[in-house]
Structure 1
Amino acid sequence: MAQLRLALAQINPTVGDLRGNADLIRDRARRAVAEGAHLVAFPEMSLVGYPVEDLALRSTFVDASREALIQLAADLDKDGHGEVPVVVGYLDHAPHETAESDPARPLPQNCAAVLHRGEVVARYAKHHLPNYGVFDEYRIFAPGQDLTVVRVYGVDVAIAICEDLWQEGGPVALTRAAGAELLLVINGSPYEQDKDDTRLELVRRRAGQAGCALAYLNLVGGQDELVFDGDSVVVDTGGEVLARGPQFEESVVTVDLDLTSSTVDPEHTPAGVEHVNLGDDPVPTYAAEPATLVPRLEPVAEVWAALVLGLRDYVRKNGFRSVLLGMSGGIDSAVVATLAADALGGENVVGISNPSSYSSQHSKDDAAALAQALGADYRVIPIAPMVDAFQAGLSLTGVAEENLQARIRGVVWMGLSNQEGHLVLTNGNKSEVSVGYSTIYGDSVGGFAPIKDVPKTLVWQLARWRNEEAVRRGEKPPIPESSITKAPSAELSPGQVDQDSLPPYELLDPLLDLYVEEARGRDELITAGFDEEVVDRVVALVDRAEWKRRQGAPGPKISPMAFGRDRRLPITSRWREQDARSATAGGDDAAAATTMERSDPAAEELRQKTQRSDPAAKEP
């Protein structure tokens, strides 16, 4: 048997900050070496940040990545860590002989490098390039062709990158053929609800297929709409978990492995395998230390942690120190404000109450109580005089008058943002974003939307969980109970509640889940038990709101189908789901179906009502 202490450094790099990322890698390498690591690994693209998107197509950026890698190897050696091999994800040019690379315009590659004794001693390029959901790698990168195996203290370690693990065959099959004792997979795998269970099942299955232990190392941190959750894991050949890192936190996860010494002749490896020998002599026998094994978060706590991390990193990585939002006393603004306080500290949260003539006293009281509990900077700026001034010149009525209130509030928020340097947060949840229940250039203004991918019913769950968590900590629950229990309302007209315009959220969210997340058609929704009239109205609202969503702020992705790069639909389109039933019938029937949908008075009334503002932002 051969012992090997492996250190998996799940770190939070920043896209484009090559110097800062290199310093982070050096610091974590120092910690790992101090803990006696024999091999240290860092996640996918950790030197340049991930995903770099079309930055990868700029040769200057690729050249800078290559230069930073060479400098990092020299710096690690200068730091006294040169004898410990370090695996780092970075961006490189594809070799000219790569078939997919145009010599006149070389394509980049998503790569891993092995650094040792001040040199780059081995290189591996990602084979399988995802082209679904948020990923565009097939368009950007050239795929790798060979598996890299590095012998470390007599143990053969195969290297793969993220999607290489998700695809059958490929590097996993080559790992078995090469006789490696450990498959090290570096990842940039974004968070989605319940994904950690899927990953663990995959890792266990692939370990069996590769015939060796498997180490899965993932990024941590927020990058625009993506959140990387860490959750690194090491399993043995039989799938038993040997070590597991924390979720949503940076950490150096160490594990002592007992592996079989390699018997492979490096001079006679299978086709498609590049073997680099860094040393045949095994590590002297030592006493193993207990491995890192961090318990998983419960489902709602996991979502909260993802939203906090995504918000914190978006604010800090974009150079802001504080945020500003409309505090209405409603559930959405209460949850967003509490997320912001957890992410940045309550002293860095500015809450603005903009009461109008329709704002209830209980809503104003709830907003003030929330701000006090969070320690936020709370300001009351009535908008009734501003509305009167606009109305004196415009004389708007109905929905246009209601939307005017929302737009005046948006002007107030953005004005304070410009003056004082805060990032404005918008409070819209996924249910409202889906059906367009917001005022464009009103409550939808802002630079970041923390609950954009959170359905309304989950917003309530998050609020209750956060209050319960406060009790567990011996603290006062921050969110007023009445903000959780009262009926959501935009308070833009007397006695208004959301349910005047929308189905109950307990009905709406499951319908939206099937239509948006699973792309079910109209007839499938009706077969699933939803009322035909409700289906037609909700589907029409979702389709018509695409132009609003396209102008919305980014927000952290927590679902498999978030609005943004996950779901790309045209704004200009005459297709309606109701057309599907009659499209095959031809001419008159199809035309009639389209005409009926457009002229349905009830649908038009509902469409106008749902142009109103976000209930959470419209109740100051």
Structure 2
Amino acid sequence: MKITIAQLNPVVGDIEGNMARLIDTLSHYSCDTDLIVFPELFLAGYPPRDLLERDSFINKIRLAIDKIVVESVKFPETGLLFGAPITSGENTGKGLYNSALLVYQGRILLSQHKSLLPTYDVFDEARYFDPAPSIQTIPFKGETLGISICEDAWNDPELWPKRKMYAFDPIEELAVQGANLLINISASPFYVGKEEIRYRLIQNHARKYEVPFIYVNQVGANDELIFDGRSIALDKKGEPLLVCKAFQEEIKTVDTGEKGIPGLYKPQEKIEAVYQALVLGVRDYMKKSGFKKAVIGLSGGIDSALVCCIAKEAVGAENVLGISMPSPYSSRGSMEDSRKLAANLGVEFRVVPITGIYQAYLDTLKKHFAGREADTTEENIQARIRGNILMAFSNKFGYLVLSTGNKSEMAVGYCTLYGDMSGGLSVISDVPKTMVYELAKFINRHGEIIPQEIIDKAPSAELRPNQTDQDTLPPYPYLDKILQLYIEEGYGAQDLVEEGFDPETVKWVIKTVEKNEYKRRQAAPGLKVNTKAFGIGRRIPLAAKRDS
């Protein structure tokens, strides 16, 4: 059977637009394929979240499905398989299914609902959907199709070594029913290393049941989540027939009767994948939110330099403005380094000094602060002035402010609420400081873009004389190892000490992470690139007793 994989980038909520793309794909590719397969919830875009609770939204979905069914009559040789939310017709439960619809010659041959509804990390599907009451295979053009949706293929013991997540295995059931071609439509978000896990998972299914497996994943970015695509087609021995590109749309046709090509699949290099993910995250967030230009505060440090590079790659140099805002403690080198970076990238660069504004603040507060030593209060004032200036440019010219705090800083609160945390998108809030340097090295792989002076200088907020980050924080390599185990792996204090970390440092890190939860709750949405990011996938109470 010839199957066309439509690895496309839907817009959440744009039912008409997503439907138009589906029909356009059908009209262009129907002449040389038996079946065109689109990702999970393609008509709605994934994740639609509480849009699913609006009757008007579900009604628009239903009308779109009706139009697609009518349109399919024009292409009598080609079937369509796509994802959409549909009503269950039941008076109990959520009343909605996450479904895969097989449409052919003006009929819906099958509405296969999703069985396994993930409720961990960023997923909350049981909030909206009921699980499938049953699953079944379907004969189509001489084959017996076993159709599943995303998580339905993830009930593999290798993925859940401590405890099996689900009691039911939909892929096994489809195989028992005689499926000789397995198809999974998916919206599987990216994180570092997931691509290889996903490939191995699908390969295991193909080999175990000795049937070809077609896996179609969404591409694009929606809010915090980035979808890398990397759709695949495997033969019955688990060898790749086709591997789609990462982080870009692609439409490819494959013949499931052919033999796979050993070695065709090669995983992306980690840092390149993270960079491409962040670029796509910024590009889609801006495009889908209606922003054409971005503004960034350039401090002369590596974090803002990295964000500026990502923004330039995402939306073009002509759509990025970098602003240097020197204070009394800013080194001349920092401003000149920022100017050089902007020149290397070809982005507009402006200087807006804040010394006068800062002094006005100090004069205004002088009598109220009499008898007290200068401390972080005065440092934070500088950061908040800068945040206000960036927001003023946003208001006046319609720019999106991209905030530049990395994951290490966000974790321990080494950032100023309403200051450098100001912005509409926190680009690298899931990128540890050590990875920031790896990304800078990747950007400079063909020549200097980020000035070497920025990479070599000791990290500093430059909010007091001769300040460096390491005056306050443990060395970043050491800090990042603790944070990775604590935040992403769920290690406790004793676990970390047993791993060989200094007990006092562990205690300080955990206490600092916990007490800064309120800051992160108020932060701009951040792009997820690791297994556990701050944001929708990490729900820590604010008013609670702390373990530390």
TM-score normalised by length of structure 1: 0.83
AA partner of residue 140 (structure 2): V
Residue number in structure 1 paired with 2:297: 326
1:596-611 to 2 correspondences below 5 Å: none
1:145 paired to 2:144: no
2: CA distance, partners of 1:210 / 1:143: 24
- Give the drift of 1:148: 3.7
- Give the drift of 1:290: 9.7
1: CA distance, partners of 2:206 / 2:82: 22
- Give the drift of 1:247: 0.7
1:351 paired to 2:322: yes
Residue number in structure 2 paired with 1:431: 408
1:539 pairs with one of 510, 514, 517? 510
Residue number in structure 2 paired with 1:47: 43
1:412 paired to 2:383: no
Report SS of the residue matched to 1:159: strand
2: CA distance, partners of 1:243 / 1:148: 26
1: CA distance, partners of 2:448 / 2:19: 41
Report SS of the residue matched to 1:221: strand
Judging changes above 3 Å, is the alpha-carbon distance between structure 1 residues 324 and 294 closer, same or farther for their aligned structure 2 residues?
A: farther
1:78-477 to 2 correspondences below 5 Å: 80-96=74-90, 102=92, 107-167=95-155, 169-258=168-257, 295-395=266-366, 397-468=374-445, 471=446, 476-477=447-448
Residue number in structure 1 paired with 2:160: none
- CA RMSD, 1 decimal: 1.8
**1:491-549 residue CA offsets vs partner (Å, 9 max, x unmatched):** 11110000000001011000111111112111111111111111111111101000000
2: CA distance, partners of 1:118 / 1:365: 65
Report SS of the residue matched to 1:425: strand
1:547-586 to 2 correspondences below 5 Å: 547-577=518-548
2: CA distance, partners of 1:108 / 1:322: 38
Answer whether contact 2:295 2:321 (CA < 8 A) is retained: yes
2: CA distance, partners of 1:450 / 1:177: 46
- Give the drift of 1:58: 2.0
- Give the drift of 1:33: 2.2
- Give the drift of 1:52: 0.9
**1:111-169 residue CA offsets vs partner (Å, 9 max, x unmatched):** 01111123323211101101111111122101112224332221111110011101255
- Give the drift of 1:19: 0.6
1: CA distance, partners of 2:302 / 2:268: 24
1: CA distance, partners of 2:487 / 2:448: 34
Answer whether contact 1:63 1:92 (CA < 8 A) is retained: no
1:33-72 to 2 correspondences below 5 Å: 33-34=30-31, 36-72=32-68
1: CA distance, partners of 2:332 / 2:437: 22
2: CA distance, partners of 1:211 / 1:464: 43
- Give the drift of 1:240: 1.3
Judging changes above 3 Å, is the alpha-carbon distance between structure 1 residues 426 and 255 closer, same or farther for their aligned structure 2 residues?
A: same
2: CA distance, partners of 1:63 / 1:174: 32
5+ residue gaps in structure 2?
157-167
Residue number in structure 2 paired with 1:617: none
Bigger relative contact order, structure 1 or 2 (CA pairs below 8 A, ≥6 apart): 1
AA partner of residue 45 (structure 1): L
Residue number in structure 2 paired with 1:29: 26
**1:351-383 residue CA offsets vs partner (Å, 9 max, x unmatched):** 111001111111111100111111111110000
Answer whether contact 1:254 1:291 (CA < 8 A) is retained: no
2: CA distance, partners of 1:207 / 1:224: 33
Answer whether contact 1:62 1:91 (CA < 8 A) is retained: yes
1: CA distance, partners of 2:448 / 2:69: 49
2: CA distance, partners of 1:502 / 1:106: 48
- Give the drift of 1:412: 0.4
TM-score normalised by length of structure 2: 0.94
1: CA distance, partners of 2:66 / 2:329: 64
AA partner of residue 251 (structure 2): V
Report SS of the residue matched to 1:141: coil
Please identify, of 176-185 and 506-515, the stretch whose mean Cα deviation from structure 2 is larger: 176-185
2: CA distance, partners of 1:196 / 1:533: 37
- Give the drift of 1:179: 1.4
1: CA distance, partners of 2:115 / 2:130: 8
AA partner of residue 64 (structure 1): K
1: CA distance, partners of 2:66 / 2:232: 29
Please identify, of 142-151 and 424-433, the stretch whose mean Cα deviation from structure 2 is larger: 142-151
- Give the drift of 1:292: 13
5+ residue gaps in structure 1?
260-287, 578-620
Judging changes above 3 Å, is the alpha-carbon distance between structure 1 residues 505 and 527 closer, same or farther for their aligned structure 2 residues?
A: same
2: CA distance, partners of 1:289 / 1:200: 14
AA partner of residue 181 (structure 2): L
**1:78-102 residue CA offsets vs partner (Å, 9 max, x unmatched):** xx42430010101101132xxxx52
- Give the drift of 1:576: 2.9
1: CA distance, partners of 2:335 / 2:269: 33
Report SS of the residue matched to 2:42: coil
1: CA distance, partners of 2:517 / 2:169: 39
Report SS of the residue matched to 1:351: strand
1: CA distance, partners of 2:265 / 2:209: 26
1: CA distance, partners of 2:287 / 2:13: 15
1: CA distance, partners of 2:307 / 2:381: 23
Residue number in structure 2 paired with 1:267: none
Calculate percent identity across the aligned residue pairs.
41
**1:401-428 residue CA offsets vs partner (Å, 9 max, x unmatched):** 1110110111100011000000101000
1: CA distance, partners of 2:498 / 2:400: 44
Judging changes above 3 Å, is the alpha-carbon distance between structure 1 residues 377 and 109 closer, same or farther for their aligned structure 2 residues?
A: same
- Give the drift of 1:68: 0.7
AA partner of residue 14 (structure 2): D
**1:214-246 residue CA offsets vs partner (Å, 9 max, x unmatched):** 111100000100000001111122211221111
- Give the drift of 1:295: 4.7
Answer whether contact 2:425 2:524 (CA < 8 A) is retained: yes
